[in-house]
Amino acid sequence: MEYTSPPGTLGRMNDWPEGWSDDNRGPRYGRGSAGAQPEGARAMRQVRRGPAVPPGPRSAYGNTGPAAPPYGAGVPQQPSYVDGRGHDDGAGYGEYDSGYNTGQVYGSPGGRGPDDPAGTPGRAPRPAPNWRRRIKWTAITLAAVVIVTSVATYFWADSKLRREVDLSKVIDRPQSGDGTNYLIVGSDSREGMSKADEKKLHTGGAEGKRTDSMMILHVGGNGDTLISLPRDSDVVVPSYKGSTSGKVYPAQGRHAKLNATYAEDGPTLLVRTVEANTGLHIDHYVEIGFQGFASIVDAVGGVDITIDKGFKDKWSGADFQAGKQTLNGQQALAFVRTRHAFAASDLQRTKNQQKFLAALAHQVATPSTILNPFKFYPTMGAGLDSLIVDKDMSLWDLGSMFWAMKGVSGGDGTSMNMPISGSTGGNLVWDKAKVKTLVDELNNDEKVTVSGN
């Protein structure tokens, strides 16, 4: 049964144009093809509907009517689809979308397919990373973080300093010399301690405050010097201005132990007494109590120290064996307070205090503390919360004091007791000649040649 094209058509769509044969179609692809390449998109001539072609003889393929006229014989050229927009923009006859002809799958990433002929354009390769730019912005970001963190830490720490001592109330002061002099005091203040804390730390429950340790730290260009002042030092109480009353009390030639002046009228009278008996100007005052001292030691994770000879003391709670060991806050407080266990009493205690403070400064300054925020901030917080300083003390001054103490412990300075010539009535008498030489060397910021006990 033959199929006849309906009126108004050009016949069967698979008729070949006149003059075409199966042999001049070029290489065949696809099923049954001997070609090596897959069949691409077949270019088909576009036709336009028009009036029916008059009947005529059948074509070789059984169609009635004449074969479709060749291109250019009355059939207008149809638009190509080179760019997929349905119009001809200059491409050759019979072309479809170039992407289809190259086997590209629309909408899929990757550009060319695996069988695309060489030279077919695909997606541009990803540009290489600009490492110089990345390093630059990483460095800028890190610098910004360090600056912001440092500034925030400074203001946080500065706000925690307890500037409670007004050295302007000290009268008749000696002239300032070269370098900076700190008076460092360890008091037996029980501020913030419960009865359980007092029992645990063996501090007792005495009212008021006294000083268990006093030191002068000189920071200068020719080496730093740490001088312990025995609490039982015999001193003359000078005239002074009451810290709370404002009343001036004249000198009466009264002798007393050095720590008694602190108990009498606090830090300002202690500073006035030290200056009057030495001739050395005190620039800054730093005080720490029992609880604060123990908290700093615990915050840093304990302090490593070597004890030359074991000792016990029921008054301080000390019970130590000889050798290297790590002391916690409670043990450290017992170590620096013990005096009854030693024949030299207070002189040996001041040596132990210097030894422990040097070890503490070294422990705080280690990278494991400074670079670890989980240890650094608790340690700094514990220290700042427990310190009482003068009104003119800055963080830079405090930092200078700390690094000087660390330097002394590392052998970059001198540590000594105030020179003693003897005792009277249980009080230790200073060697006046040596004290004068020592003070002159400190005021002139010279290397210290005097030795202490």
Q: Are 376 and 383 in contact (CB under 8 A)?
A: no
Q: Are 165 and 267 in contact (CB under 8 A)?
A: yes
What pLDDT is recorded for position 202? 55
What pLDDT is recorded for position 199? 63
% the chain with pLDDT above 70: 68
Burial readout 21-35 (b: 16 or more C-beta within 10 A, e: otherwise): eeeeeeeeeeeeeee
What pLDDT is recorded for position 128? 81
Residues 429-445: tens digit of each pLDDT: 999 999 999 999 999 99
Q: Which residues contact 139 (CB under 8 A, 6 or more apart)?
A: none
Residues 8-55: tens digit of each pLDDT: 444 444 444 554 445 554 444 444 444 445 544 444 554 445 555 455
What pLDDT is recorded for position 76? 57
Of the ranges 66-75, 278-287, 402-411, the best mean pLDDT one: 278-287
| Range of lowest pLDDT (77-91, 132-146, 409-423) | 77-91
Residues 284-305: tens digit of each pLDDT: 999 988 778 888 899 889 999 9
What pLDDT is recorded for position 88? 47
Helix axes 373-386, 290-299, angle to 10 degrees: 170
**Does pLDDT of 194 surpass 80?**
no
What pLDDT is recorded for position 390? 95
* Cα–Cα distance for residue pair 231/256, rounded to 1 Å: 10
Helix axes 329-337, 346-364, angle to 10 degrees: 150
Query: Of 318, 351, 338, whose CA–CA distance to 230 is shortest?
Result: 351
* Cα–Cα distance for residue pair 17/225, rounded to 1 Å: 113
